[in-house]
Amino acid sequence: MRKKIIFLSVLLGASLMYAEAEKHEIKVEEKFAHKLHWSYEGETSPEHWAELDKRFFLCKEGSNQSPINLNGFIEADLPPIEFNYHLSATEIINNGHTEKVNVKKGSSITLDGTVFHLKQFHFHTPSENHINGKEYPLEAHFVHLSDNGTLAVVAVMFEEGDENEGLEELWKVMPTKEGGHHKVDARHLNALLPKNKDYYRFNGSLTTPPCSEGVRWLMMKNSVTLSKAEIKAFEKVVHLHNNRPIQPTNARLILK
């Protein structure tokens, strides 16, 4: 029992640490990145994250890690996510791991009676999560934080097809070197979201160190498109891929 209490205390501490960083507009992974290098390849790749720093222990020991392969769905009466988005980007940043887009305050979702404020969104190629075993060329994560420090991520899959107006605006000013950043005046960011907001839901974690758990994952059932050129442009910046491998689902329920 004492070990369980200690473990839960450490887990809570990791989650609160992330929340506090977000309140100051600094993501934990960026804070650590200046002191400790992690990557998607070689000796600092995902299979070694937990060895790089004791604060990353959940990357190996966690039981609800993300990403996952979404399958074996459980039918549930999921209430609609209340989107209150007024998407307006302020800056796009190459943080060495992805292209992160900061947004103006004011956009949020409401879920479980709680308001989650949109802090930023970023991208992974190929997709981190899979749906029924299918991998997508790009996945966007819209990261939200509630006033009590809990996290919710709205995930969107992209399929190759027509050019995406939202991505085209962002990619035009996408910094290609780590640490690069540019102001953004994007007017078509709603193109990054499907019109139909039906979703799958599961509990998971951050997909980057420190891999904190307790994250509400909301995966849009419907994808949006991007062109082959837009895929290649992002792959070039992140050196072909920036996705964490699929993690065990364990006993988690995936609701639809």
**Residue 48 designated active-site:** no
Q: What is the structure's pLDDT at 89?
A: 87
For the stretch 46-81, pLDDT in tens is: 999 999 999 999 999 999 999 999 999 999 999 999
Q: How far is CA 40 from CA 11, 13, 55, 90, 156, in A?
A: 24, 26, 18, 27, 21
Mean pLDDT of 128-150: 97
**Residue 73: what pLDDT?**
97
Alpha carbons within 13 angstroms on the beta-carbon side of residue 201 total 16
Dihedral sign of CA atoms 226, 241, 54, 30 in order: negative
- Tell me what percent of the residues of the chain surpass a pLDDT of 70: 86
Residue 10 has pLDDT above 50, yes or no: no
Q: Kindly give the pairing relationship between strand 151-160 and strand 224-226.
A: parallel
Structure tokens at 245: 């491998």
Percent above pLDDT 90 for the chain: 82
Mean pLDDT score of the chain, rounded to an integer? Answer: 89
Active-site pick, 34, 37, 97, 241: 97
Stated pTM of the model:
0.87
Catalogue all structural domains in the chain, each as residue range(s) with its CATH number: 2-237 (3.10.200.10)
Mean pLDDT, residues 135-153: 97
